[in-house]
Every structure is written in C-alpha cells, then in structure tokens.
Amino acid sequence: MFPESMIDKSRKKDHYFDTDYSPFLIEDPKYGILRIPENRRIEEAIPSSDSLFLDFVSQCLVLDPEKRPGAGEAIKHPWIRSFFGGPEAESNPIGPTVGRLEDRDFDLP
C-alpha cells in the first residue's frame, strides 16, 4: 500500500482514507463495493509493446511526488528524446527515430 508519509501530504486524504490509512470502500450500483485505488502492472493497463513508452509512463505515474521525475527530468527520457534525435535516439532498441509524432506507431489499439 501507500507509505503513510505520502498519504499525510495529501490535501484530500480524509476523503479517501480511514484513520488507519486503508482506502475507503466505495459502493457502486453497477459493480458493487470497490476498493480504490487499484494496483495493476502498467503492461496490463496500457496495451503497448514499446518498452520505452511504458517505462516513461510508469515513471510519470509514480505516486510519491518526491520520487516522481519532474518535467526537466522527464523530457530527458529516451522515449521523449527519440522524437528529436540525439544520442538517446540512437540507442533506442525499439525502432528508428521518427521526426514527427504523427508518423510514430505507438502500437495502441
């Protein structure tokens, strides 16, 4: 589960967590009782075979803001750099560098 120190930083922790830091149960008429948040692997949530893309997204979704990369770090990620050329693009094992985003095959359904 989430570290208590991270939950304590949340402005809305009282809306989502009990005093023992467990998530509230949420009743949904269609699905019954849900416990949120859900924990799934990124590969299950995003159908893509682009490992650099999945790595980039997983880094952006790190819950703890102290551990999540900022914009300055994220823009240096090899997946982002592959759109602009440079040394990171040359080591991209997924495929060749493409100059325009519209031309890039993201392998999404």
Same domain, residue pair 72 and 98: yes
Model confidence pLDDT, tens digit, residues 31-48: 776 666 566 788 888 889
Report the alpha-carbon distance of residue 75 to residue 83 in Å, rounded. Answer: 11
- Same domain for 12 and 60? no
Q: What is the DSSP string of 13-49?
A: HHHHB-TTSPBPEEEETTTEEEESS----HHHHS---
Per-residue pLDDT tens over the stretch 57-109:
999 988 788 899 999 999 999 999 998 865 554 454 444 444 455 555 555 54
Based on the domain organization, do 92 and 76 belong to the same domain?
Answer: yes
Residue 88 or residue 22, greater confidence: 22
**Structural domain containing residue 11:** 4-35
Closest CA to 19 of 33, 34, 8: 8
Domain count for the chain: 2
